[in-house]
């Protein structure tokens, strides 16, 4: 059993009395032997001597306080230094009540501390970088004032204690709130908060809109009106209707996109909120893995809410930023220089919540307090004593974090009361450093002049050299065999990404994917490509559950962007007829299938080749271990010429089929849907297997050429019977000028 009683700073969740009882029982019964570790490998000589001198009076083993363990130095210990920074009185103008607030005094302290750091620099602090300098406070709220003051002096700072919970991150909090209201469209409290925090709507506008009726904040039905609140509610309602029936991953991406969540996060100050994009990406990735487990949007929203108060991972510190952190969170860490400010400032205790259970540390008795009236003077005295003792142990933690330099900021001139009396609830009082206290002389004798140290600088240089030596492996001394190097170069993995489009058209599609809807069609290079791009974008938005009204509303909205509205209407009717018929592709997998639109994949073919592409539509039933991969084809063919499409796209679908079969280990069916014919063209497993056996024996260049359909025909968009008859079964390999081995499947 390992534990340092001197660093017990969380009595509510770590019962010090119980630990002591178990410790004593192990010793008295002979079950264990007590070992004391007193050698510190952190503190230099000056800090070690100072802690030994002062804390033997603080951790005095009285009134259930822990006993102090004398510290001993490590071998080759460095000199170290303990400094005091005496702040100067400031002429702060009182407010109308004749008082100066603690916040203004703290701002003045931050300003003077920043100036002192500018004057002395890293060398006198005996630190290598500003990341090696930390400022510790017992209260998280105090860090903001320090940050503003230090930034005004030109320093970069980083608060490590500002966001301790996952929910403190705007990325986590805003996405959670969005998903909750999507699942609970009449959760007026959450909706009002989201309008205020995410959309930046003022309290005045919210109050005028509600007119005292909170239930007006709902997104179950559209809200009419031209005011800012009504518009925001209507947008959220439209998003909620649009994502119904979508798989979890696609639904969340739609929410993020339509609310411009990523842009709103990027608008926050980067120095205050780091890597919010990365946090949002992690949440979206979590949605993808949760979808694979069959989780719904409602369940995922509840999952995020359940972990709202979980601790966040500590962010890595920046090399150029002074670290601001609470004394509590500093436990277990160390820095080359540590500064402890606000010694004379009053530390307000946490407010007491009732009902409350209190344990008498002497008798072990548990006392129940239903409200404040149940707290007798004896109980209040006991609670006050325990608070003081915990803060004394917290100061031990704070003052033992410095390797080379410890700076104590004496701010009596700012925070002391009349006649230089300090607050009872202040760090100076708990350190027993106030006038007439046991440690007054020890603190008064601390030097105020920081000095550089040659030994410490030499130690830094040696440590850095050792670190570089570990990271730099020795280079090979033998002569490089060029022939062998060339042979090894051939082993690099080659991506085979067949496409029916030229590189210029692939680039056009990539551009269109990130183009606003109203300008998207105009970016394409040919009428056939324009229509194919529109169709793929349209069907990607469809909900494949039985919701005909929603599908029709999506079509009406997207038809306005079609380059050929008449053809769109005709082929949409054909698709609806197919979905309602006995041969609907949805019936091939089952009602419990999960649908993925525009699903990318990357499959390793062998040690030197991989196959990459995007499947238009995938339907997966993990329970039945089967799936269907479907490719939309917008080629204009006669209704009775489906066989031409089947022959033309067999190599491509065989590649899809093989990749998905190997990756999922499911029973995979493959098909294409002809928008012009309104028909589903299915492939038999035997013919797909035969075709793949033929394809996998081909060289990489030939494989890429044969899998992709003829580029010229695809660009035309029309396929005639003569075209199919002229095309041989195994066409010769054609090397298009400028063609690379890395394309994508955009077979429109």
CATH of the domain at 512: 3.90.320
| Predicted confidence (pLDDT) per residue in 498-532, tens digit | 544 444 444 444 444 444 444 444 444 578 888 88
| Predicted confidence (pLDDT) per residue in 363-417, tens digit | 778 888 888 888 888 888 888 888 999 999 999 999 999 999 999 999 998 998 7
Helices (H), 496-584: 503-513, 517-520, 527-540, 548-559, 565-580
275 with 233, same domain: the answer is yes
575 with 610, same domain: the answer is yes
138 with 179, same domain: the answer is no
CATH code (residue 147): 3.40.50.300
Neighbouring residues of 533: CB distance < 8 A, sequence distance ≥ 6: 509, 512, 520, 521, 524, 748
DSSP label at 43? -
Rounded CA separation 118/728 (Å): 79
Phi and psi, residue 130, nearest 5°: -70, -20
Burial label, 627 (beta-carbon count in 10 A; 0-12, 13-18, 19+):
buried
Burial 66-90 (b: 16+ CB within 10 A, else e): bebbebebeeeebebbbbbbebeee
Q: What is the pLDDT of residue 723?
A: 40
Other Cβ atoms closer than 10 A to 305 = 15
Is residue 440 a contact partner of residue 117, using CB atoms and an 8 Å limit? no
Domain that holds residue 170: 166-306
214 with 272, same domain: the answer is yes
In a domain, 426, yes or no: yes
Task: Using only the alpha carbons of the chain, give its radius of gyration.
Answer: 35
Q: What is the pLDDT of residue 744?
A: 35
Which token pair is 736?
Answer: 């298009």
In a domain, 51, yes or no: no
Rounded CA separation 610/179 (Å): 37
Other Cβ atoms closer than 10 A to 357 = 9
Low-confidence residues in the chain, pLDDT < 70: 1-2, 11-14, 161-164, 271, 313-317, 319, 471-477, 489-525, 546, 637-641, 700-748
Q: What is the pLDDT of residue 709?
A: 55
569 with 708, same domain: the answer is yes
Q: What is the pLDDT of residue 532?
A: 87
C-alpha dihedral sign at 135, 139, 143, 145: negative
Domain tally, the chain: 3
Q: What is the pLDDT of residue 207?
A: 93
In a domain, 69, yes or no: no
Burial label, 477 (beta-carbon count in 10 A; 0-12, 13-18, 19+):
exposed
Rounded CA separation 357/11 (Å): 13
In a domain, 251, yes or no: yes
Burial label, 139 (beta-carbon count in 10 A; 0-12, 13-18, 19+):
middle
Neighbouring residues of 77: CB distance < 8 A, sequence distance ≥ 6: 44, 45, 48
Is residue 307 a contact partner of residue 376, using CB atoms and an 8 Å limit? no
201 with 144, same domain: the answer is no
> Domain end: 406, 423, 455, which one?
455
629 beta partners: 618, 670
Rounded CA separation 34/128 (Å): 39
CATH code (residue 176): 1.10.486.10
592 with 690, same domain: the answer is yes
Rounded CA separation 623/600 (Å): 22
579 with 616, same domain: the answer is yes
335 with 409, same domain: the answer is yes
Phi and psi, residue 30, nearest 5°: 75, 10
Is the peptide bond prior to 355 cis by the omega test (within 30 degrees of 0)? yes
Q: What is the pLDDT of residue 456?
A: 95
393 with 433, same domain: the answer is yes
Rounded CA separation 654/575 (Å): 24
In a domain, 600, yes or no: yes
546 with 406, same domain: the answer is no
Is residue 627 a contact partner of residue 685, using CB atoms and an 8 Å limit? no
In a domain, 6, yes or no: no
User: Which helix (H) or strand (E) covers residue 443, if one does?
Assistant: helix 440-444
In a domain, 173, yes or no: yes
Which token pair is 715?
Answer: 């660009």
C-alpha closest to that of 542 among 586, 509, 499 = 586
In a domain, 502, yes or no: yes
520 with 640, same domain: the answer is yes
> Domain end: 434, 455, 476, which one?
455
SS3 at position 136: strand
């Amino acid at each position: 059993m390992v534990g340092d009683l001197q660093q017990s700073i969380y009595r509510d969740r770590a019962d010090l009395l119980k630990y002591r009882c178990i410790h004593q029982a192990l010793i008295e019964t002979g079950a264990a032997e007590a070992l004391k570790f007193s050698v510190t490998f952190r503190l230099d000589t000056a800090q070690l001597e100072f802690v030994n001198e002062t804390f033997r009076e603080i951790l005095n083993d009285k009134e259930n306080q822990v006993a102090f363990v004398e510290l001993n130095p490590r071998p080759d210990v460095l000199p170290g230094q303990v400094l005091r920074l005496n702040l100067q009185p400031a002429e702060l103008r009182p407010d109308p009540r004749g008082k100066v607030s603690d916040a203004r005094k703290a701002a003045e302290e931050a300003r003077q501390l920043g100036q002192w750091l500018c004057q002395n620099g890293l060398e006198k602090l005996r630190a290598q970088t500003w990341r090696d300098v930390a400022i510790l406070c017992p209260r998280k709220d105090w860090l903001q004032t320090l940050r503003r003051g230090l930034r005004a002096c030109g320093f970069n700072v980083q608060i490590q204690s500002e966001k301790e919970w996952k929910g403190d991150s705007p990325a986590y909090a805003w996405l959670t709130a969005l998903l909750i209201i999507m699942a609970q469209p009449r959760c007026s409290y959450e909706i009002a908060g989201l309008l205020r925090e995410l959309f930046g709507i003022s309290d005045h506008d919210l109050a005028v809109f509600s007119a005292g009726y909170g239930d007006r904040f709902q997104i179950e039905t559209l809200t009419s009106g031209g005011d800012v609140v009504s518009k925001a509610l209507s947008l959220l309602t439209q998003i909620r209707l649009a994502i119904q029936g979508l798989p979890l991953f696609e639904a969340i991406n739609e929410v993020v996109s339509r609310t411009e969540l990523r842009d709103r996060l990027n608008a926050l100050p980067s120095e205050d909120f780091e890597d919010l994009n990365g946090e949002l990406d992690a949440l979206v990735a979590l949605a993808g893995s949760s979808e694979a487990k069959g989780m719904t949007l409602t369940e995922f929203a509840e999952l995020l809410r359940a972990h709202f108060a979980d601790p966040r991972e500590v962010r890595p510190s920046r090399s150029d930023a002074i670290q601001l952190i609470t004394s509590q969170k500093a436990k277990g860490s160390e820095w080359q220089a540590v500064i402890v400010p606000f010694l004379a400032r009053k530390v307000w205790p946490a407010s007491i919540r009732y009902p409350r259970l209190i344990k008498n540390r002497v008798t072990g008795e548990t006392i129940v307090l239903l409200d404040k009236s149940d707290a007798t003077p004896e109980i209040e005295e006991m609670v006050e004593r325990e608070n003081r003792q915990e803060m004394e142990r917290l100061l031990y933690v704070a003052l033992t974090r410095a390797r080379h330099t410890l700076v104590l900021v004496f701010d009596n001139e700012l925070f002391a009361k009349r006649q230089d009396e300090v607050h009872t609830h202040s760090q100076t009082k708990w350190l027993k450093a106030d006038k007439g206290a046991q440690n007054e002389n020890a603190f008064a004798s601390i030097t105020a002049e920081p000095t550089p140290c040659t030994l410490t600088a030499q130690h830094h240089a040696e440590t850095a050299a050792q670190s570089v030596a570990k990271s730099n492996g020795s280079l090979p001394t033998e002569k490089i065999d060029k022939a062998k190097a060339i042979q090894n170069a051939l082993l690099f993995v080659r991506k085979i990404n067949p496409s029916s489009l030229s590189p210029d058209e692939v680039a056009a599609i990539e551009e269109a994917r990130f183009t606003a809807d109203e300008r998207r069609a105009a970016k394409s290079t040919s009428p056939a490509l324009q229509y194919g791009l529109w169709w793929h974008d349209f069907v990607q938005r469809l909900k494949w559950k039985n919701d005909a009204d929603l599908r029709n509303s999506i079509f009406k909205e997207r038809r306005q962007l079609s380059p050929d509205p008449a053809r769109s209407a005709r082929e949409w009717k054909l698709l609806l007829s197919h979905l309602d018929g006995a041969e609907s592709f949805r019936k091939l997998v089952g009602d419990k299938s999960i649908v993925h639109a525009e699903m990318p994949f990357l499959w390793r073919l062998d040690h030197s080749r991989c196959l990459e592409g995007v499947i238009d539509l995938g339907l997966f039933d993990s329970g039945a271990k089967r799936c269907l991969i479907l490719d939309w084809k917008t080629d204009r063919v006669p209704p009775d010429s489906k066989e031409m499409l089947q022959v033309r796209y067999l190599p491509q679908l065989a590649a899809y089929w093989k990749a998905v079969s190997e990756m999922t280990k499911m029973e995979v069916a493959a098909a294409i849907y002809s928008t012009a014919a309104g028909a589903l063209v299915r492939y038999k497993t035997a013919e797909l297997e035969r075709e793949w056996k033929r394809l996998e024996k081909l060289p990489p260049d030939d494989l890429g050429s044969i899998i992709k359909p003829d580029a010229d025909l695809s660009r035309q968009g029309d396929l005639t019977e003569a075209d199919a008859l002229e095309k041989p079964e195994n066409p010769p390999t054609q090397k298009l000028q400028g063609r690379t081995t890395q394309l994508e499947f955009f077979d429109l």
